[in-house]
A and B are shown apart, each in its own frame.
Chain A
Amino acid sequence: MKLIQMTVNGLGSFATEQTINFATSSSERITVFHGENGAGKTSTLNAILWGLTGQVSPSLMRPSADQQREVLFNDFVLEEGTTPAVEIHFEHDGTEYRAKREFIGREIAGDFQLWAKRGGTLDPFTKNSESVMRKILPPGLARYFIFDGEGFSKSAEQSESVFKTSVENILGFDFVKRAINRVENARKTRVAEVQKISSRRIANDKNRAKYENALKQIESSDLILSENAEHIELAKEALEDIRGQIASLNIERVNELQRVARTIESDLRTLRSTLKDFEYQRLMLIGEYYRPVFGSGIISDGLNVIEEHRQKKVIPGPFNKQFIKDLIESGVCICGDCLNDEKIAVLESQLQRGYTSSLQQRLTRAQAVTVDDFQKIESFKKRYQELTIGIADRRTDIETKEEELKATQSELDDFADRERRLSELRNQEARHSAALKRAENTADDARQRKEEAQIVVRKYSVGGASTSKQEDLLNRQISKLDSVIKYAYEFLTHEMNFCHEFVKNEMRDFIAGTNIPYAVHLDNSFRFQFRTHGGKAINGSTGEQKTLEFAFLCSLVKLVKVKSKDENGLLIPAGSLPLVIDAPFSDVAERYVKYISDMLLSVSEQLTILTINKDWPALEQATEGKVGQEYLLVKNITEDGGGRVQELHRFRGKDYVCVNYGAAINHSTIKEVTNG
């Protein structure tokens, strides 16, 4: 950056518009302003500083905006209502710029506008004039390049760390530190978040046990349900089978058979009774039949005996011995039980024969038998036949019924087996029903437990899983931020070491170029002092100390120039900046003026020096051939009553007349000093 021209109005002691041109040639690159105290050096410096940055040099800083305004701007101009303004033309990286700052409103920084020359015309930046300007001349750097030399000494006395801070500010370390601070804040936020999550996770760990138990419960329930489903299915199938089998056992048929059997048995009893009755009647009839044959007496007695004997199952009787004899001889038992059809047939045959022979003989012999007897015999015979038929029928019926009963019983026997089977099936059914019921109860229980477990799982699963994931992510980010922070501090340490080494060596080089007999010591806080070659700290003279201060300052300027070539992107790439220094040579012996001006010239491509008249001759000598522009700062004093005060100044062997107009209102003018 190179200053070309400045127009100032209303700043400091400048009550009228003043225009100056800066020396721009590389050989004659010094612009000098000289004047008496109060003639406008500081105003000029502040015009440049304020015009470019909106800032004020430390010596003019005031605590309140009103005070600041009064100090910075010209009272007369403010009262007049004129707008204080500074317009500076400069060149940067081959482009010409026009910067104009006006004090409008109450903000000290005022209103800033920047133009850039493109294609022969100046185009304004519509939005970001200030930020473009800040890139060209970083505010942190400005006060180290446009500064009050006395203020520099004073600030050095005030704070031990001012030099280190200067180095940091010049190169933009403070921005790196701010960046680290942001990264550290991001880290802190994450650490706090992780701690929060971690404490939540610890609480969740307890819940996790519940969660995992619930999962196991679900698994176990599922297994039980699965196994039980099989049991239930099998039990159901078995029951179905059993019930099918039970259904196949026809209970109604059994009941019917039992009923039939009972009927048959009843019928049989009736038939047997009837048979006996018939047999008895036939025996009775036989007895009746005998009476006509053997006499009536025999009948009653004989029947009684027969009956008696029949019941006793012995053959009776003296009363019909012949007949009984006959029967016995015939081998025929005549008891009721023994009188089967065959025997009766034999008996009848014998009786028939006996009847025929004996009856005929008796009839013949006794003539006792009447016609009625024959009729009776005939009716007996008829009845006898009827009974015989009846008996035969009954016997047939009995046989039939017995067969029926037998068949029924046989079928019932079959059913008796079925009943046993049925009973067995009923037992099985009961067993399987109970098993089914148990399985279903178990399944219900398992289902219930599973549902309860699922509630637990739903409650704890989401938090548990995401917590861990989020924690991992944050920890990874913290690790990365740690890595960045570590790198950043490493970078800062490295850079600071580099700067320290650089400044120390440059200062030593600068001092080595003088006849100052001391060594330079630079501590880690960049505090510098002279030391004897024996290593003892020593205070030099005012000039020596001033030279040492400027050696430090020039080392910083050189450092900026060196660092502008760095491509790491973290520090400020300021490049070459013009040096504007106010009153650097107060109370400094001539030779030190030479040292200091040589140093300043060696590090700057453009140098502007504001100095008091009495220091100018020495500086003029030291900078001979290097001054491109020279200005005289003239203090004009207006006295009440219009008295004129003239002051005479002598520069470069020529006399200049300064006209002072009094003390009530003072203002300065700048006059260019030319050889003419």
Chain B
Amino acid sequence: MKVGANLSLYSDVRSRNDSAWLLPKAPGFPHQLRDDMRRYDEADEVDIVIVGCGAGGGTLAQRLARAGWRVVALDAGPFWDPETDWVSDERGSHSLYWTEPRLISGADPVPLGSNNSGRGVGGSMVHYAGYTPRFHPSDFATFTNDGVGADWPISYDELRPYYEHIEQELPVAGQDWPWGDPHSYPFHAQPVSGNGDVFINGCERIGIRARVGPVAIANGRFGNRPHCIYRGFCLQGCKVNAKASPLITHVPDALAHGAEIRAHCHVSSVIVDEHTGHAAGVTYFKDGVERRQRARMVAVAGYSIETPRLLLLSTSNRFKDGLCNDEGQVGRYVMVQGAPQTAGRFESEVRMYKGPPPEVSCEEFYETDPAAPYQRGFSIQNVSPLPITFAEHVIAQGHWGEALREYMRDYVHWASLGSLCELLPLRENGVTLASEVDKHGLPVANFSYSMCDNDKQLMVAAQSKMEQILRAAGAIETMTIQRFAHLVGGCRMAASAKDGVVDANQRTFAVPNLYVADGSVLPTQGSANPALTIMSLAARLADHLVGASHG
């Protein structure tokens, strides 16, 4: 915490969002708030029904509830209690992921589940590492400036105030940030572990900048949230309540302001009135029974796989090919970041399982390098695979049997870096409905993904830079696993209906009271982890909706 800044930061945050002070001082979730939660009848026409309660839906619910809206948010998964539902164990954290069936295909199929898909209140931020970088101003006009990707219908400047607000509410800790739009963070950076030391040393030796952060874990107490205990299980859900997720950063305040968050509700369609052409609510399955919730407005926030799937499932006479899909844009341009991870073997013990996996970042190679044969770039961050994930790294080298066991016995000597490469949005990459169905009989998503040449060149360049850093830090051996991270796109924001599903205010072009409030609206992805941007967009959307309702 920066000296002298406490009081003004706290009062500023609490004027928008009291969540950190509504949590119990003991571990867990405030059960009284849940017991006292307002409950609407399904015949009530609420002001808005929100589908999905993660980064987008959770933030939107909090903002609108605080503005006095009657809000119901539905989530397919559980309403978590971090103390009793989550475990400090890699294998035991299976229930945090979206594990309903999904198919993956294409030339470069992208694993889902633990990699990028959440389920339950808090969404995938429950098991994200905790990195919360901003996008760079250059991300908003890559088509104009780099000749690739797409231009956003909004600029960085329109998002900046929301970045600042959300960074305070999470809150984010990190060193002063020199890249993109230079800025500082509300909390000083965390101390780093051996894994972070290796990264910083390597960068120093080759003369590039690295910075600690930006990580959504307060360096200190924050409201009733305790200090991080550096136990290293950020990707398994933070039992401590130190790492931010909407479950603890926005949901408590939403409940305190009268939002209803209905868990274990799998939304099966958006209802559109055939006469008015307006959304009238949703249908959903709860305990195997199909129910309805009426609403004056609907916001879909199911993320890049489930949001397109829901729109494609919501067919009617008017929308025979799926809701808002007149231009064939639903489910298109889904993006993942190329995320090769390179591990280095050191004489010293690194014990990378200690400390939060998110520690140090480098955005030196984020923008297009005019000397390189590819457009756009990549970032590099610490990652710290736990044993099961590290075994995947070893298997990826072709080892099995004795060799696998021997590499794994050496686990404490390895440090790891991960890259995020800006893979380009391609129309063919995306979500369609499969013939396979889920337990409700609804067709599941088939996510097809194939890389283009620019993508492949970026992955190679990122790997080579990570190897260089690790060697400079003293690694005597390196190994790299090719993988992907994050999801965005699928219902992108565009200036006109022929290029996207929603407009600059995230309203669907086809249905005037239907909004998309998650990462699927992103037209490009930069080399930044998307959580902060998704939350900031949701906060901006809320301001727009509240402003519009005041006329």
A, B from the same assembly:
no
Which residues of B does A touch, CB under 8 Å?
none
